[in-house]
Structures are given as C-alpha cells and as structure tokens.
Amino acid sequence: MTILSENTVGLDREVRFGDVRYDFHVRHGHSAWSDLRTRFAELDADRFVVVADAGLPAQLVAETEMNLSLLAPTRVLSARADETQKRLTALDRLAEEALRDGITRRSVVVALGGGTVGNIAGLLAALVFRGIRLVHMPTTLLGMSDSVLSLKQAVNSSYGKNHLGTFHAPVFVWNHLDFLDSLPAAETRSALCEMIKNVLGIVPERYDEVAGLLRTDARYSPHVLSRFIDLCVDAKTRVMRHDPNEKGDALILEYGHTVGHAAELLTGGRLRHGFAIGIGMLAAARVSRELGMLDRADEAAHRRLLELNGAPTLLPQELDTRSVLDIVRLDNKRGYVPGRSGSCDLILLEALGRPHRPGGLQITQVDERTVRTGIESVLGNRPALVGA
C-alpha cells in the first residue's frame, strides 16, 4: 500500500493486471500541467485525438488542447456522456471524424471525461487500426477511482449495458484533481459508492477508516480524495493482478451491478451509476441474507456506509420489480455457468470481503422469487434521490 502523509497529494503508481502494466498518476495544482506535458512528450505521437465529454467546461477542454498542441497536432472530438448515446453509432461517428482528420498508428487517443466517455474513447482506440495507444484523463472521481482501473472498453446495446466491447489497456492514466472542482456533490457521492463496493467486497479491513472519512456533504480535501483513489487502486489490483479480464477473482468488482445496471438502464442514466450500484448492493445483500449467508449486521454495514456517504438507498419511484427483473435476466454475466430456467446469475457475499463461490466461481444462480425479494427490498413509497 502507498502511504500518504497529510500533506501528500501527488501519487505515482504502477497498475498491474496480469501481464499488463501501466502508470497511474495523480496531481493537484497548476504545476500538474507541466508534469503532464513531460509525460505526453515521451509518447512521441504524431497527433492527439481528444475525445471530450460535451458537457465539460470549455476552459478545461481548451487548456487540455493547448497543452497537448504544444507537442503535436491536436483534434478535439465531442461525445455525450449519456448512457443512451453510448452506442456503436456514436463510435462510428467518432471513428469517421478521426480517420478524416488523419489519425495514424502513431497517434494517441485521449479520453477526457468520465466513465462513459472513457469507455467510448477506449473502444475507439481499441478498434482503429486494430488498436492504437490510449491515455485516460478522467474528469470525474468515478473515472479516477474506478473506470480507468480496468482494461474493459465497451458500449451498450439496445438490450443492456456494455454488451459490445473488448479489452484494451491505456499507456498511462493522468488524474488532475483540479478537474473535480466543478463537479456537483452528487457526482462525488456517486463515485464513492464504487469505493464502498471495494471496501465491502475486497478490503473490509479498511471499513472503519472509510467510515471515519465519509461526509454527507461530499466536501473532501485533495489529500482525502487521493486516499480514496489509492484505496481503489489497492483493491482493484488485489483481485485483478492475476485476473486481468475479470472472469475469476475480479468478478467481485461486479458486486451490486446486476440490479444496479438494470436500474441505470431503465432510467436512461438519470440514476447515476454509483447510486445504482449502491442500491444494487443493498438488493444483493438482502438476497444473501435470504439465502442464509450474510447476517443482519453485515447487511446493515452496507447501508451504514451508503448513508454516511449521503447516497440514496431506494430505487426511483417509477421503477417496479417486473421491469427491473426483465433487465436482470439479460445481464452480461450470463454464460459463465450453464443457464438454469427460473434463476438469475448474481455476485453475492458470504461475509464482508468473502464472495460466495459455488463450484469455485463467483456466480450464484438464484431463483427468481428470491431475486424479486431483493429488488422489492429497495423499492419504496418515496423516490430515491436521483440527483441529490
């Protein structure tokens, strides 16, 4: 583990997933731009293609373009950070623009945005000329602490999230904490739900530390944000070091995602990703308790961290059990084990930090009646705080 002193904000780590290694940098303050130019200059690129979130502040995009254009011709392409737009049609448009602009095998795709834009740009880099270099510059805490700590690049189909994709590693990740200054509090809370997932599923020994740091007002110093990001690097590398394609030990990273992805898709992304995953974890915890695995204290431990984070614990009022279950049946984890009629494949815990492994694999086939119970436990008479 990296030890961060109270005054430490900068962070340099090597992320290792199987045979893949890439550098992971965290910076804060104006001097970060000088460090960034030095790092990008090492790539000796003939051009940078920046895929930028259309909703980013113009000044942030302009400053990024200006710094990169000092090194090589730079083109900014716009992409909407919208789950309904995370489709092959958006990818095709970007690819046509990049090819028309002269992208080559020596070019570098730069993902400037959150997880949605990062996935679109990542898949673009993976497909152009069967794979060119990718650099992530996440602008959200969720991107910094979760989505860039993965090799998965994917877009949605009309049937569900992340059905179409591949694996493609960045050459490095550059996190500038100043990018987070303009984020709404809800975006920070949403991101920290994924960190909470890592605590519950992978590093429960960090539970008390995180409980003591979480704030419902989502106001954190750069030092604390660096600690949160560092924790997520620790957790994800622990399970992905020998499972880079996330098919074995790293399946725990999908905890809460089965019901969560269904809710996120049904609301068209209006329910923020992290909030959906947090609620999905509560549903999974109830399923585990119904099956005699998690006890009440462990289930309550889920809710405590989410509440300390100021995150919602109920699904939006317009969702119902049937619509959520219909999407759960099409979840992208289907096929790891032979399908069984009347059941759904879920990631569950036996205890904090201990995934259930029937047959050695972290996939539990749960009868739909019990899955319904889990979904209904997070339905309420009041709407969840979608944009809180």
Catalytic residue among 83, 194, 254, 299: 254
Nearest-angstrom CA–CA distance, 295 and 297: 5
Torsional sign, CA 168, 169, 170, 173: positive
Highest mean pLDDT among 204-213, 321-330, 331-340: 204-213
pLDDT at 337: 84
pLDDT at 388: 45
Do 11-182 and 185-376 come out as alike in CATH topology? no
| CATH dotted code for 185-376 | 1.20.1090.10
Instruction: Identify residue 111 by its one-letter amino acid code.
Output: A
The string of pLDDT tens digits covering residues 168-184 is: 999 999 999 999 998 89
Exposure of 188 by Cβ count < 10 A (0-12 exposed, 13-18 middle, 19+ buried)?
buried
pLDDT at 83: 81
pLDDT for 343 beyond 90: yes
Give, in words, the CATH class of 11-182. Answer: alpha beta
Give me the mean pLDDT over the 154-164 stretch.
89
How many helices (H) and strands (E) are present in the chain, helices listed first? 13, 13
pLDDT for 9 beyond 50: yes
Beta strands in the chain (DSSP E): 11-17, 20-27, 48-53, 74-79, 108-113, 133-138, 152-157, 160-167, 172-176, 343-346, 349-351, 354-355, 364-367
* Predicted confidence band of residue 381 (pLDDT cuts 50, 70, 90): low
* Cross-strand partners of 222: none
272 phi, psi to nearest 5 deg: -55, 150
pLDDT at 136: 98
Nearest-angstrom CA–CA distance, 212 and 133: 40
Nearest-angstrom CA–CA distance, 189 and 199: 15
Q: What is the layout of strands, in order, in the sheet containing 133-138?
A: 11-17, 20-27, 172-176, 133-138, 108-113, 48-53, 74-79
Nearest-angstrom CA–CA distance, 148 and 191: 13
pLDDT at 385: 45
Q: Residue 100: CB partners within 8 Å, gap ≥ 6?
A: none
Give me the mean pLDDT over the 134-146 stretch.
96
Catalytic residue among 63, 65, 152, 290: 152
pLDDT at 25: 96
Instruction: Pick the closest to residue 105 from 134, 88, 129, 85 (CA basis).
Output: 129
Residue 254 is among the residues annotated as catalytic for this protein = yes
Domain layout of the chain by residue ranges:
11-182, 185-376
Nearest-angstrom CA–CA distance, 134 and 156: 20
pLDDT at 148: 95
- Note the Cα 46 to chain centre separation in Å: 30
- Residue identified by tokens 């293609």 is 49
Share of the chain above pLDDT 90, in %: 85
Nearest-angstrom CA–CA distance, 92 and 339: 33
State the DSSP code for 126. Answer: H
44 token code pair: 């000796």
Nearest-angstrom CA–CA distance, 91 and 111: 13
pTM of the model: 0.88
The string of pLDDT tens digits covering residues 216-273 is: 999 999 999 999 999 999 999 999 999 998 889 999 999 999 999 999 989 988 999 9
Nearest-angstrom CA–CA distance, 129 and 357: 39
pLDDT for 102 beyond 90: yes
CA–CA–CA angle 149, 155, 158 (5° rounding): 145
pLDDT at 134: 98
Nearest-angstrom CA–CA distance, 145 and 175: 9
Rg (CA), the chain: 20
Residue 333 is among the residues annotated as catalytic for this protein = no
User: Mean pLDDT over all residues of the chain?
Assistant: 93
Half-sphere exposure of 223 (CA within 13 A, CB side): 7
Half-sphere exposure of 136 (CA within 13 A, CB side): 36
Q: Residue 218: CB partners within 8 Å, gap ≥ 6?
A: 185, 186, 188, 189, 192, 309, 310
pLDDT for 330 beyond 90: no
pLDDT for 5 beyond 70: no
pLDDT at 269: 84
